[in-house]
């Protein structure tokens, strides 16, 4: 492999027409330039510059090396600029997976990231949590978010960033109006309205039902939380949804928190594959900090700081 520094000294010598001019431009001694050109000649095993020629005379090999070497040095300079741009977060790309159930949490994050890093190409993929886990595991995404418990056997790194209670929603005739929590055992006696099976929340509910050895009465399932609310308002059953989706509900619906012996929490987890996060990914997480719960963020921040740069 050619010595890149020696190649640069050779190219500048030919471009400027003398060893003296090259030495002045490179701010080194003339003897250093001559030495580096000889190093290059030793590497290629041929004469590059015919000494004592005025102007400088190049051998056939020297002409090829000057022409192609000039192009190579320019490409290396552009490469260095690209690397610096990525390090400075003025260039790059980032693919993030966010489940539809939590995308509204990230509206302010998206705006902040766009304002601070307008040159980074950001692509947000909306898929249910289990699908995002598969995409992160296959390196189709740089990072993603899902709902615990995360699928085992994928080799994913994951970290809890927020958790919320889960609520049952129904009309008073299906769900008495009071402030006491309700259990899954009580809910299994009622027609349930759940998200589709490919959603993290349904995986969570199914997990707890299995632990309690309960058989639910599932009346309907949908990929749209709004439709579950509409069905609950029509008296078709009891919808189960997490707190962030229950901020604006019809007044006629009863809302009761679900509690178990083992806490039933809608836990948002950050996912990545391996121990490395790109500079753009770390910048995205910094923009996410305001929506992450403080106790989760502090531990994650320490983990990120220890990752390779």
- C-alpha 257: how far from chain center: 32
Please tell me the pTM assigned to this model: 0.61
4-87: what fold? Answer: Arc Repressor Mutant, subunit A (1.10.10)
Q: Which residues sit opposite 95 in a β-bridge?
A: 123
User: Per-residue pLDDT for the chain (309 aa), expressed as one digit of tens each?
Assistant: 778 888 888 888 888 888 888 888 888 898 888 888 888 888 888 888 887 767 788 888 888 888 888 888 787 777 765 565 455 455 678 899 998 877 777 888 888 888 888 888 889 999 988 899 999 999 899 889 998 888 888 888 888 888 889 999 999 999 988 888 999 999 999 999 999 998 888 988 998 899 889 999 999 999 888 899 999 999 999 999 988 888 788 889 999 999 877 668 888 888 888 767 778 888 888 888 777 766 555 666 666 666 555
**Token output for 208:** 């707890």
Q: Cα separation of 81 and 68, whole Å?
A: 20
Q: Cα separation of 35 and 184, whole Å?
A: 81
93-309: what fold? Answer: D-Maltodextrin-Binding Protein; domain 2 (3.40.190)
Q: Is 204 exposed, middle or buried (0-12, 13-18, 19+ CB in 10 A)?
A: buried
Alpha-carbon distance values, 4 to 8, 76, 253 (Å): 6, 10, 72
Domain ranges of the chain: 4-87, 93-309
């Amino acid at each position: 492999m050619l010595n890149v520094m020696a190649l640069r000294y050779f190219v500048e010598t030919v471009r400027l027409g003398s060893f003296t001019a090259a030495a002045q431009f490179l701010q080194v001694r003339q003897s250093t330039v001559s030495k580096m050109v000889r190093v290059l000649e030793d590497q290629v095993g041929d004469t590059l510059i015919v000494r004592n020629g005025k102007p400088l005379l190049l051998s056939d090999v020297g002409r090829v090396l000057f022409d192609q070497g000039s192009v190579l040095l320019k490409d290396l300079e552009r490469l260095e600029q690209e690397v610096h741009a990525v390090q400075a977060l003025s260039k790059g790309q980032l693919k993030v997976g966010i489940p539809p159930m939590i995308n509204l949490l990230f509206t302010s994050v998206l705006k902040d990231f766009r304002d601070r890093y307008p040159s980074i190409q950001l692509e947000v993929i909306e898929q249910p949590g289990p699908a995002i886990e598969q995409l992160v595991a296959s390196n189709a995404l740089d990072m993603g978010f899902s709902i615990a418990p995360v699928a085992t056997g994928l080799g994913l790194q994951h970290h809890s960033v927020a958790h919320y209670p889960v609520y049952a929603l129904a009309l008073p005739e299906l769900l008495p109006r009071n402030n006491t929590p309700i259990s899954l055992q009580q809910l299994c006696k009622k027609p349930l309205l759940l998200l589709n099976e490919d959603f993290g929340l349904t995986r969570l509910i199914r997990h707890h039902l299995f632990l309690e050895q309960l058989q639910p009465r599932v009346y309907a399932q949908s990929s749209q939380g709004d439709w579950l609310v509409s069905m609950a308002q029509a008296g078709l059953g009891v919808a189960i949804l997490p707190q962030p989706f229950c901020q604006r509900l019809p007044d006629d619906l009863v809302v009761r928190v679900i509690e178990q012996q083992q806490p039933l929490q809608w836990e948002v987890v950050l996912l990545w594959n391996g121990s490395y996060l790109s500079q753009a990914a770390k910048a995205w997480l910094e923009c996410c900090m305001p929506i992450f719960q403080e106790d989760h963020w502090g531990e994650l921040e320490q983990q990120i700081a220890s990752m390779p740069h």
